[in-house]
Structure 1
Amino acid sequence: MAIKIMICDDEMDILDVTGMILEDAGYEVIAVSDSLKAEEVFKNEMPDLLLIDLWMPGISGDKIIASLKTNNDFENVPMIVLSASDTARQIAMGCGAVDFIAKPYDIDNLLGVLNNHLHN
């Protein structure tokens, strides 16, 4: 069974490209562009890792992470923020994210960070 990664980003280009990269690397990808549906999709799909943008219309990624982390079923699921904002790193670490990847990202770095958190 493939490792399941959920990507949540309101930028369709980022969602599509990141999804293709992860699928090519052998991951099963769940792509969500609507932050208002992200928590529900996460709970239904139970991914092995969440990769989420911080600044989205509706609900911000830090609020989604903080909410999911209150559920004991999800406390061990790595949640990683993917953002273009320099100030996002501190916010990401403060909400319970395990790591931060800056956009635009290097593909090898992205895969390395994910691999580190999935196989540690």
Structure 2
Amino acid sequence: MSQKKRILIADDDPAILDSLELILEDAGYEVITTGDGAIIQDLVQMGPDLLLLDIWLSGWNGKDICATLKHNEQTKHLPVILFSASRETEAIARDAGADAFITKPFELDDLLDTLEQHL
């Protein structure tokens, strides 16, 4: 049996974290969640296969986190999907070097398809 893919989700809305965790675990993923942008670097050391990152995070915003990860030799291979309700999500994702973006609210199938494409 292949190992479960591990997804790190960072969002400052606990309700979104809870629902995404349930949905993705149900879809067969291992899920790590945080509402604190400041500890992303530490969590990335746990070796997630993908980072699902809200742009507006407390502590450290998703755009800066993504750009930092993409400029770091150890983490630049990590797929990062930015998500936000902002109309600027696409432009922000492009600027930050994200692998993809999802605009909230999103369809579940779209989320799962996007995750599959990058795992």
Moved over 3 A (4+): none
Aligned length: 117
Secondary structure of 1:37's aligned partner: helix
- Corresponding letter in the other structure for 1:3: K
RMSD: 0.9
- Corresponding letter in the other structure for 1:57: S
Secondary structure of 2:82's aligned partner: strand
For the 8 Å contact 2:9–2:52, the answer to whether it is kept is yes
Query: Partner residue of 2:99?
Result: 98
CA deviation vs aligned residue, 1:36-57 (integer Å, no higher than 9, x gap):
11121112x1100000000122
Q: Distance in 2 between matches of 1:55 and 1:47?
A: 21
Alpha-carbon offset, residue 73 of structure 1 = 1.9
Could you say which structure has the higher helix fraction?
1
Query: Partner residue of 1:58?
Result: 59
TM-score normalised by length of structure 2: 0.94
Query: Partner residue of 1:28?
Result: 30
- Corresponding letter in the other structure for 2:50: L
- Corresponding letter in the other structure for 2:114: V
Unpaired runs of at least 5, structure 1: none
Secondary structure of 1:63's aligned partner: helix
Query: Partner residue of 1:48?
Result: 49
